[in-house]
Structure 1
Amino acid sequence: MSMHARPLGPALRWATGFMSCALIVGCASPAHGPTTSAQPAPATAAAGAAPADGRSLPEVELTGPLLFEIVAAEVAVQRGESSAAFATLMKAARDTRDPRLARRATEVALGARAAAQALESAQLWRELDGGSSEAEQTYTSLLVANGRYDDAKPLLQKQLREEEDPLTALERIQRLLARAPDQARALALLVALTEPYLNDRKRGFNAHLILAHGAHAAGQGARATEEARAALAMRPDSEQAAIAAAQFMLESKNKADAAGRADAIALLSGFLQRNPSAADARLAYARLLIGDGRNDAARNQFEELLRRDPHSPDPLFALGVLSLQAELRPQARGYFERYLKAIEDGADREPDPAYLNMERIAEDEQKYDEAFDWLHRVHSPEQVLTARIREAFLLAKVNRLEDALKVLREAPTESPDDRSQVVLSQGQILRDAHRYQESYDLLATALQAAPDDPNLLYETAMSAERLDRLDVMETDLRHLVQLRPDFAHAYNALGYTFADRNIRLKEAYELIDKAMQLAPDDGFILDSMGWVQYRMGNLAAARDYLARAYRLKPEADVAAHLGEVMWLQGDREAARNVWREAGKRESDNETLKETLQRLDAKP
């Protein structure tokens, strides 16, 4: 039986490399020639390891005790005993004055996330190897990580003085300070470091942008916006500054989302009037318009981008999504096909999102074989689980339920969240197939292992409702809103269940009203409000809510409710029109069929 030796870890390889260097020096001696001593020259820990910049390091004899300390430290690292390894390496570094040992101690401390120990060893490393920029920068970084900003300041100023281009150093410093524990003090330090460059005609633009990003990292949106605007004033044609200013306006904590978005849109609109060929700014502008619900205006911007560059992937993809949302499937298909063609030549874009959208188009057109084909093309780790879940739902849709469940059982899961997604999908597919007990049992078992998982609580409650286990449903949903008071659909589900059963109507109304406060434009919640109004006898209010819901969510369940209210108001032809339209899309919808049968109505 052959056995493979366990590979050495990087730390232990370093130690053995230390020893082999000494052996190589000995072996490299000439076989014949004069020597100054009958005794071989002592091996040194520094042999063969001089720095590339020519700095000299101490000649340290690799004695037995030193070798033992090094190996003992590395074995301790392998065993997870970082504190012991650190102490041993620091003793060896102080005894030998070898900076490499101090450097190794710093690595060990950093690996153990021991910031105070890392600072101690980095200070020794810097002391022993004063010419090393790596030691200097590591020590300075650790001063910041330990909150010692005043001590770090002169060292950072020294880096700015010594750097050929101080802006390069400023960018590096900004990234360092963005990770500091006290962002207010970190920003104050960055302000002091950038101040000498802010009014410099050559460097002021970049200095303002660096400070803008520092303020953004510190959560000071107004200051970030101010600095980005200052940079834009120095270079009015800079897309980088314009996009940064718009981004910081949008994210500013001092403004409501709508106000911040309006200001960002106005800024980029003005910038594009002055710089119409700025493609990146136009792309950012179009995305802001989508966020503002102005899809037609966004479409115009994406089309302008395509007019200037017909093969640009970003507008092609965006126009495909917008067309799909508008149910313009042939147009959407064309845009996604052009997108896939555009990225064939090496554009830095993934095809999988387009494959998933093409699958949706094919599914909507009932071209199921084509839809499966698009899903099977998805292979990126980020999207493959999504593709397998979509495949399972599609299999269930074409009555291949066992195949659907098999796909989910075999789906790749890398994290607890992945496994939760699979279980939730299994539960929904079983519920949709009227296998309510199996769905409930599966979800309830998963919930026992993760009793505070919001999605599991919600889906388990939905399955319990199908079994008329209203006690379980109510318990799970009330626990859910304790954990997540902003979970609008939990309030809505409980309120709708009461309304649908015509029980506890006052409480149902209060729950749905709470959901509406959290999500006032949600079609399903508006449907619930319409339904509880209907149950309370308020037909006019019910029709208004249900009509709004149907405009947002033209689905058969909503159509069934809206039509029923119209029917009872005597507007029967309007009711038939709504039912007929919904029946064309979802002829097998249970709610619609039950409503028509109960009212003895024909669409």
Structure 2
Amino acid sequence: MRTRMRQRTLWLSMAALLLPTTLCPLSTMAADTSTSPDVSVRASDDMTRAQDEAAPERLDGATFGALLGADIAAQRGDTGLAARTYLQQSRRHSDIALARRATQMARLSNDPQLVVAAANRWAALDRESATPRRILAAAAAGQGEWATAMALLLEVDASGQDADLESFLEEAITSGASPEELQAPLESYLKRHPDQPHALITRALLQSLQGNNDAADQDLERAQTLDASLPALWLARSQIALDHEDAAKALEYARRGHELSSDDNRFILAMAQANLAMNDVDAAEKQFDRLMQDMPDNLQLRLALARLYLRNDHPEAAQRLLKPALEDDGAATSGELYMLAGLASEQLDDLDQALALYARVPAGEDFMAARVRGVQLLSEKKRIDDALKWLQTQERDYPDQYASLMQLSLTLLDQNNQRSRADQLLDSTIKAHAPDNDSLLYLRAIRAIEHQDLKAMERDMRTLLDRDPDNVDALNAFGYTLTEQTDRHEEALRLLERAHRLAPDSAPVVDSLGWVHFHLGEFDQAITLLKQAYAMMPDEEVAAHLSEALWASGDSEQARRIIAGAMARFRTHPTINDLLSRYPLLTPLSPPPQATTSSTVTSQETTP
């Protein structure tokens, strides 16, 4: 089931690239307000239409005066005031045209709350219109309220209009919605409207995601009986057949859907995936080429298709697909492009080409991942010196990433039992090239802590704080080290209180401050701060600090609960192990449950 979920999620993420937007973003305007770039012209036309469409006998002098004021406000760029005026008048006159104008002006104002208020008024006055419900659904989806968004679109479906439920489902799932939260309103709706084919298809897709294949097939059969001419039916059948590893059926259904809707590129994608699942790479590549001919500038689609090739061990096809983008200067800022191209080169055993591509990943989200991968490739071949030279080249090309790349060089040497060489490299770099680089100086101070060289640590930390007394990282690391490894707790307290004033929401700082209060014997203050830190940053070291403070204060029961919960939450817990070796009586009275990788609190853990 997990494999099917991953496969479907991958399909959805690519299919979503081919979809028109189902839900109108709040920042965009209604179709009839987007024709002119001049807001004042649109606003003036809007008011004229609103006046013309409203019943003349209802628009008294006060109303015309208010609408004139709205027009003037819109011309001055205050579309929010214009929207509120239209909304107020729509409530006074119960007029659909005024509510529609209020919504359009609200969308121009980019005020989500105002948009919702106006769209709600429009929907209340016009039970037949799908547009306000789509707008409200977009607002709900933007807040992560997927069940509400689904319920609003189901209202559209019930009215006989196209709610495009299947496309909404794809958008929702790829945006992180869970199948369960989407299914609840759907089940309720189908109890009242059992013969709505789009709702049945949408439920079938959800059931397939959850592994309920028989129920999904039943819904699809029912939908086909109701209307076999729906393209969405055959797209869903193709997706689900592919999940069942029936590539031949998936291809058959995709072809049938393509006959019904030849302009829908999702069927081309579905046919290509089925071909690829049947190991017919030539046929898949032809389909992908058709997609790229229709959307040559869609880089995200190109990357998604390349990922699919690589997942199916077809690096040559991935290379061919990525080549035009690699030659396009406009795509040069995409780190993922070079990452995927590098991975394709790896699969083809072209190490030098892979390294060259990883070196081209620009600063951003993928920057360090690319350098780490390059170092791994060379390290696996015991080419440590080559890896260092490669990183040094990166340091020259990306001076803003100097400290991060140096850290990677040091880690490489440390992991290959060359710690002394790593220290010498850092010392020589600071002395020769970067004496004023605070990041490197901080890095050396942290390594000194690891070496138990407090004198060297203190020298570098004081230099950092002389340069910048508000350096929170230095204040925190220096203060924590003093209270952890010396008896200079009062000095540590001054450092950490300053760090806390500068960064009161920093969990590491709050933890350190709580820990120094513990060492000073101020247990109540320590526990309060450590509980805050643990709530902000559930971490096994913070859990150990809090448990020890609770134990020292006499609350052994809660201390054991914290330890039991942390041992269940974290697979490794060296700080807690050390604590239990010092205080064996803190060991939980019953064995904790098996640790998981989940970030949720276990039932045994009491959140402090």
Output the TM-score relative to the length of structure 2: 0.48
> Which is bigger in relative contact order (C-alpha 8 A, separation at least 6)?
2
Output the TM-score relative to the length of structure 1: 0.49
